[in-house]
A and B are shown apart, each in its own frame.
Chain A
Amino acid sequence: MLEARDLTRVWGKGDAAQTAVDGVDLALGRGEVVALVGPSGSGKSTLGGLLAGIDRPTAGSIVAAGTRIDQLDDDELAHWRGRHVGIVFQDYHLLPTLTASENVELALKLNGQRRGRRAAAKAALYEVGLAEKTHRLPSQLSGGEQQRVAIARAVAVQPDLLVADEPTGSLDRATGEAVFGQLLELRATGTTIVFITHDDELARVADRVVRMVDGRILPEAVAS
């Protein structure tokens, strides 16, 4: 479904340059669930951003369904993200002036859906337990509730690739498990899921665990 080759991302320039991802090769199959784990600063979030197309590699390539997404221009890349990717940010990143429902509707609109967006948004929010709070603004929701809206926004578009950065970081264990369960249900529709976590227990539900250290992926034997 998606294949990254010799992926490198360097932040900064000259003496201040820091290699966050260093020559990573990674192939993701359709419907596969991959956990990206590793210590802080190991490059997990940067790799997640590259895979989701919100960042561009300094070197290397990413091919998704036959398309070199690293070579798309800004608008083509945005279009690709809107149509094929769902993203759950660690910091939620909801649009502050839109209600919970409208945040989800916006993702559906950018996904190209023309009809039934409001109903689909409400359904997605119902699924994450926010049926009563669809008209609330992000500032009127708790951190956990915002995280659930962010998940609903990502799930509602039924993406081909879902990248989630610490998706349950702001949730209590019970809610986290429930919500994460909903994320995993997407695999049934063929969505490839990449989630970044510090939680080894959560990582166990993945089909594959990719462990990162200093921007590199550890070989599976070493990782295990």
Chain B
Amino acid sequence: MTWLTRSLRRAPARIVASVLAIALAVGAIGVFAVPGVAAGTLRDLAAEDHLAHVAADVTLIDDIEAIVIPGAELIEGRISRTVATDDGSIRMIGVDFADQSINIVEPDLGRLPGSGEVLVSEGVAEIGESLTLGDASLEVVGIGTTTWWTADDVAYTELSTARSISGFDGANRILVRMTDSGADNLDLAVKDLRSSLNDQDANYLSFPTTVPDGRHPIEGDLVQISTMIGLLGVVAGVVALTLLASTTNTLITERTREVAVMRALGGARRPLRRRLRRMALGIAAVGALIGIPLGIVVANVVARMILTQFVGITPGVAVSGTVIAASLAFAMVGARLVAGRAARRVTKLPLADALRDREGSPFGGRWTNRLLARIPTGGLFERMALRAGAHRRARTTAVVVQLASGVAAVVAVASLGSSIAVFNTAQLDPWTWQSGAQAVDAGLPFDASLADGDATIEPVIVEFGDVGDWEVSIYGLAADTVMIDRAVRDGEWLDGSRGAVVSAGFAAAEGIEVGSTLEVVLASGVSEYEVQGLHPSRGRDVYIPTDVLAADLGAEGRANAFWSTGTADQLDLALPVTVDVFTLDGLFAEDAAARDLIAQVFWVIGLIVVSVAVLGVSSAMAVNLYERRHELATFQAIGGQKHQLRRILITELVPLALVASALGVVAGWYGAVGIIGFFESVNAVEIGTVFATGSVPLAVAGAVAAVSLIGVAAARQASRRPVGLTLRGAA
């Protein structure tokens, strides 16, 4: 520590720069914590609000007490209904506030409502205002919600008030908390609940939502983006490791002469190495102390971006203990390993050379050096530049690795962004409908024959179900539908019989083939279909004839949506329940907005990686300049000017940038392919990787510009110290 303190007094800027470089390297590791921080925040909210493990929209039941689910800790019935307001509609939820134990509703402002009162989520209305729900006008007495409905506008009323507004005399939404909330146990609970409902002549109206293991229901929506970010952390980790190695190496290399003097005075190698290692570890520890909070900031800023933008939650500060421990270990173990190697090198140098602290190992010791010295490679400056790169291979490798990591990050981020963009668009591509109206509440409330006679409108069922371990989208479509491009990759489109068409990518992942039997778990229970074709749609989609699906759902001749190849105005069918009206163009626009958000998050991470890479290259150049200070001073002593020095350094760095760019482009592409491949396999969908061609010139130009700037700065730094002073130190 004494040596560290002395070093700080002697060269404060150098030590502070080293500490900051290590801090940034450690901070970059914080990217790994993003998925954990996002999930942790959501799970805290889930625990706070005591969220349901199973939530189901059901046909009206009178007696909640009669529901029996083995292993259930709590069962609660509520009313959920979308009702008209003065300016549209809102989800109304009736809660027994005196006895609520699941999806607990808490007021952030005001109080819980009594009879004839309402509590609304933020932005719906202000306390003291009146809110029209159906035919009733209620006074707003509180603002708040439960995190289950975090992104939705909701009006919470007492059960009795909700019953009076909806006309429902019971409950149509069941919430369950299980003692064991493991996924398998929840599947059993869904079956038990169905059977218990059937005993009361009731059934599911839509496929129940299950939320296992203390998760938050929206966590699944964020898994892909946050895991992608975590994988980008690998790139950040590689760059950070190189920066840590480079900085630690500099710290020790700079002490070559000092160590030599100690050796000359009788100091043994072993204690000197120990001393060097301790100094490096001390600096790494200080760097980690600053870097870990920095990493926490990075993780929380990115997680906040995701949660705020994607799900409308403004999270508090969360910390990933695992990543903190890993960051600390990264700094200390990494510094120890690099310091050990560098200390061995410094203490092994021949004493006479070390005392002069000249150029380290001489150029010409390797046959490659001698060969290079005989190959004409441009003018004198170009030869100097090229040979300098070959002379200090470790430094050159560090520069190339860091630049390549930066380029790889840009290419990977851009390719992931392009892939997601193309995937999102491709998901909508097969649809040929232009507008739609879908019932907001669960169930199949429409008579399918309502649109008979209008060839531009078709009744449709949009539902969810399970195939194997996967939740799938189920579409009930007519065999001769004009709402989708019916071209299939294999087999044929629906012929109206009891068949199904499945997304080709999902089918490939699950081993589903044309002719095989597809077992689908629907809200009503298990149904089987013969697979007739494989469709190029990119999701996990299953298409079933509308009438077959309606019958299987227990609502023959019914549907829950109407789609039209015309405009939304043409869908004026006087539908009996609240509907959500949408257009395909609107969905494209929503996708574009989501893509922009994803792109923003990716670019933030890309920027962190690139910053660390640039800092790493600068650090490697600092070592390089230190080791070559006599050579560069000699060059200036015999008349070399700053612009010539600049030319040599830039000539040295630009080819490295080009090599690194080539490596980085390849690594970035394969990185993106790997990440997308990972997601294809864990999601059983066909995403496809799109190479972001436009990112290549950007990344290459960026790398060349960065090294040019670093070269300019390095030349400035090298020419700042008086030549005589540097050469005097060598004598």
Interface residues of A (CB under 8 A from B): 45-46, 49-50, 52, 54-56, 74-75, 78-79, 81-83, 85, 87, 89-91, 93-99, 102, 105-107, 109-111, 135, 137-140, 153
A96 touches B728 (CB 8 A): no
B391 touches A78 (CB 8 A): no
CA A135 – CA B638 in complex, angstroms? 21
Chain A CB count within 10 A is highest, among B391, B643, B725, for B725
CA A85 – CA B644 in complex, angstroms? 18
Q: Assuming the A-B contacts A56-B722, A138-B362, are A82 and B640 also in contact, with contact meaning beta carbons closer than 8 angstroms in the complex?
A: yes
What secondary structure prevails in chain A residues at the interface with B?
A: helix
B638 touches A82 (CB 8 A): yes
A55 touches B380 (CB 8 A): no
CA A138 – CA B391 in complex, angstroms? 13
Q: Which residues of A contact B387 (CB under 8 A)?
A: 97-98
A3 to chain B, nearest CB (A): 20
Task: Choose, from B125-133, B249-257, B366-374, B689-697, the stretch at the interface.
Answer: B366-374
Could you say which of B637, B639, B644 contacts A93, with CB atoms under 8 Å apart? B637
Interface presence of B359 (CB below 8 A):
yes
A95 touches B631 (CB 8 A): yes
B637 touches A81 (CB 8 A): yes
Q: Assuming the A-B contacts A55-B724, A93-B727, A95-B635, are A109 and B380 also in contact, with contact meaning beta carbons closer than 8 angstroms in the complex?
A: yes
Could you say which of B370, B637, B638 contacts A137, with CB atoms under 8 Å apart? B370
Q: Which residues of B contact A107 (CB under 8 A)?
A: 638-639
What are the 5 tightest A-B residue pairs by CB atom distance, in nearest-first order? A82-B639, A55-B724, A110-B639, A139-B362, A97-B387
CA A200 – CA B377 in complex, angstroms? 46
Could you say which of B369, B373, B634, B730 contacts A135, with CB atoms under 8 Å apart? B373
B638 touches A55 (CB 8 A): no
9 sampled A-B residue pairs with Cβ under 8 A = A54-B636, A54-B727, A75-B643, A78-B641, A81-B638, A82-B639, A95-B631, A110-B640, A140-B364
Cβ contacts B351-365/A at 8 Å (1 or 0 each): 000001001001111
B373 touches A106 (CB 8 A): no
CA A91 – CA B388 in complex, angstroms? 21
A93 touches B380 (CB 8 A): no
Q: Which residues of B contact A52 (CB under 8 A)?
A: 637
CA A135 – CA B362 in complex, angstroms? 16
Q: Which residues of A contact B722 (CB under 8 A)?
A: 54-56
Q: Which residues of A contact B370 (CB under 8 A)?
A: 137, 140
Q: Which residues of B contact A79 (CB under 8 A)?
A: 639, 641
Q: Which residues of B contact A91 (CB under 8 A)?
A: 356, 727, 730-731
A153 touches B380 (CB 8 A): no
B369 touches A137 (CB 8 A): yes
A102 touches B380 (CB 8 A): yes
Chain A CB count within 10 A is highest, among B363, B374, B724, for B724
Interface presence of B418 (CB below 8 A):
no
B727 touches A139 (CB 8 A): no
Q: Assuming the A-B contacts A49-B728, A75-B642, are A87 and B364 also in contact, with contact meaning beta carbons closer than 8 angstroms in the complex?
A: no
Looking across the interface, which residue of chain B has its beta carbon closest to that of A95? B631
Interface presence of B301 (CB below 8 A):
no
Q: Which residues of B contact A87 (CB under 8 A)?
A: 637-638
B364 touches A139 (CB 8 A): yes
A55 touches B723 (CB 8 A): yes
Looking across the interface, which residue of chain B has its beta carbon closest to that of A136? B364
Could you say which of A90, A111, A139 contacts B639, with CB atoms under 8 Å apart? A111
Interface presence of B630 (CB below 8 A):
yes
Looking across the interface, which residue of chain A has its beta carbon closest to that of B372? A97
Could you say which of A45, A97, A111, A139 contacts B728, with CB atoms under 8 Å apart? A45
